A = this chain, B = another copy of it.
């Protein structure tokens, strides 16, 4: 639970955070963990698996607005906005830690530094959102998929879910398409092109990055926006 090491977290703060956790939960793929527009009284920290935040237009067009890997606070923001404007859905089997809002609120009253760290984690979410706006707004299909593979590689590595240049990514091509603002058919074609270009491979739910520099160049990926550097807050 001490995954958030962009700044030092004291033992006392770690205990305060553990104290705010009321329990755990598991869920299966496709299960909706949080429904949009329903008042929430707790937030969720992802321990294992992958979850998506997604919105759907009336005619069924679906967009994944964020993907989360283990260690991410999936809906910390519900603590202050009460109800979400999107669904939170498990894409794989997941394990989750639950944090009632009352406890989070108490932390903001008594542990300002820890509160800033939590605030920071929502700011990093926002930075990811902005990069995604850039991606779906201006990058080509090939760049989008390549960028997503690079981003997830970097984020998975932080939480030690990679083995060298490959990592498990138990998503369907349709999931990737909905994250990139493309169709599953076109994602399939793009993945083939990436494979044929010797850049990356995605099969049997495993991503292998064959040419890290080449893939990053093709995506114009620069991990700066992940703000991985630590400094005192």
Contact = CB atoms under 8 A, between A and B. Distances in A.
Interface of A: 37, 53, 55, 57-58, 61-63, 65-66, 77, 80-82, 85-86, 105, 108-109, 112, 115-116, 119-120, 122-127, 129-134, 136-139, 180-181, 220, 224-225, 227, 231, 233
Contacts of A125: 126
8 contacts: A80-B116, A108-B112, A108-B115, A109-B112, A112-B115, A122-B123, A129-B129, A129-B130
A133 B136 contact: yes
Contact of A108 (B55, B77, B116): B116
Contacts of A86: 130
Copies in the complex: 2
Contact of A81 (B37, B61, B109, B127): B127
A82 B229 CA distance: 10
A75 to B, nearest CB: 11
Contacts of A138: 57, 61-63, 181
Given A108-B116, A139-B57, A65 B122 contact: no
A89 to B, nearest CB: 14
